[in-house]
Amino acid sequence: MPTFDVVSKLDMQEVRNAVDQAQREVANRFDFKDTGSAVERGEGEVRLGSSTEDRLRALVQVLEEKLVKRQVSLKALDYGKVEEGSKGMLRQAVGLRSGIDSEHARAVNKWIKDHAAKGVSSQTQGDQLRVSAKKRDDLQAVIAGLRAEDLGIPLQFENFRD
């Protein structure tokens, strides 16, 4: 029976490269001089810090530009609250979502049950979904439909087997 897996993965090497590029741009740009602006990559998140709210928004924009250039989906970013730090600095943590959580898995399963042809089934396996059908064309229709649908997370399709 033909199957494929629906996953949501981040290429952490590309994220690392984008953060490094953002750090270099912040260090060289005139409007970031003497603002204490910084972009740091942590475990599963990127931390942003600056002296004013305007500079923090510009920092977010620089990071997003670098991620888009490296083809990392912005849907994988989870923006935290802007917090006030020491000496009037503002900080914001940007979480990096990887994997399909149970809420999004239910949404994808529901979409497949509502829109897919009869005989297409899906089941959750950890942080991914396995979709199976009797016909390969039905699976390709599901892939096309999920690509067109905005479910709030970046989706990739792997392990297509006949």
For residue range 12-66, list pLDDT tens digits in order.
999 999 999 999 999 988 988 888 888 999 888 999 999 888 889 999 999 999 9
User: What are the structural domains, with CATH classification, of the chain?
Assistant: 3-8+100-161 (3.30.70.860), 12-96 (3.30.70.990)
Q: Where are the alpha helices (DSSP H) in 4-124?
A: 12-28, 53-69, 102-115
- The 3-class SS string of 124-144 reads EECCEEEEECCCHHHHHHHHH
pLDDT (tens digit per residue) in 13-25: 999 999 999 999 9
Q: How far apart are CA 56 and CA 136, in angstroms?
A: 48
Question: Do 122 and 108 meet the contact criterion of CB atoms below 8 Å apart?
Answer: yes
pLDDT of 16 reads: 93
**DSSP-derived 3-state class of residue 1:** coil
The reported pTM is 0.82
CA distance 91 to 17: 21
Query: How many other CB atoms sit within 10 Å of the CB of residue 92?
Result: 19
Q: What local confidence, expressed as pLDDT, does residue 18 receive?
A: 94
Each residue's pLDDT tens digit, 73-129: 898 899 999 998 888 889 999 999 888 888 899 989 998 888 888 888 888 888 889
